[in-house]
Structures are given as C-alpha cells and as structure tokens.
Structure 1
Amino acid sequence: MSKVSNYINETVEEMKTKVSWPSYAELQNSSVLVLIGSLAFALVVGAMDFAFDSVLTWFYNQF
C-alpha cells in the first residue's frame, strides 16, 4: 500500500512543479482552432457524403 501512496504523492508533486501548464489565453486560442478545424472537417465529410449519395442514387436509378 505504501508503494501506491508514494506513487500518488510523486505524481502530484510532478504535476505541480515539472509540468508546464498553458495560460488561459493559450487554451482559448487552442480551443477555437480545434473548433474551426472540426467544423471544416465535418463540412468536407458532409459534402463528400452528399456527393457520393447523389452519384450512387443517380447510378442506381439508371437500371
């Protein structure tokens, strides 16, 4: 049990002293960038889905 306790204590200490945490402004900028990238990716995938659906519907209606 002491190994688990020691591990937790060392982990907490490392998170406080050795990890470099981003500022609030950096987090906001990163979040906006991820949101824009996700929306762009969703639009591209949606457009591809619409195009494939339209082409395949046209193709199957030819028979």
Structure 2
Amino acid sequence: MGKLTKFFNDAVEEMQHKVTWPSYLELQKSSILVLVGSVVFAVVVGAMDFVYDSTLEWFYNQF
C-alpha cells in the first residue's frame, strides 16, 4: 500500500511542479489544428467512399 501512495504523491508533485502546461492561446491553436485536420480527413474518407460506391454500383449494373 505504501508503494501505491508514493506513486500517487509523486504523480501529483510532478504534475504541479515539473509539467509545463500550454498557454490558453497555444491550446486554442492546437485545438483548431486538430479540428481542421479532422474535417479534412473526414472529407477525404467521404470522397473515397463515394468514389468506391459509385464504381462498384456501376460495375454491378454492367451484369
């Protein structure tokens, strides 16, 4: 039980004194970057899905 207590105490100390937290502006920039990247990824995957679906539908209608 002592090791577990020491682990949590060390974790709290490290979070308070050794971790450098980003500023609010840096956090906003990173969040916007993730949002834009997610939208671009979703559009690319959606376009690929549309192309594959259209191609397969055309192919199956040939028979």
TM-score (norm 1): 0.95
Moved over 6 A (4+): none
1:43 aligns with 2:43: yes
Which ranges in structure 2 are unaligned for 5 or more consecutive residues? none
**Match of 2:20, SS?**
coil
User: C-alpha separation between the residues in 2 aligned to 1:10 and 1:44?
Assistant: 44
Aligned to 2:52: 52
1:7 aligns with 2:10: no
Aligned to 1:18: 18
Instruction: Give the CA RMSD over aligned residues.
Output: 0.6
Which ranges in structure 1 are unaligned for 5 or more consecutive residues? none
Output the amino acid matched with 2:46. G
User: What percentage of residue pairs aligned between the two structures are identical?
Assistant: 65
How far has the Cα of 1:5 moved from its partner?
Answer: 1.0
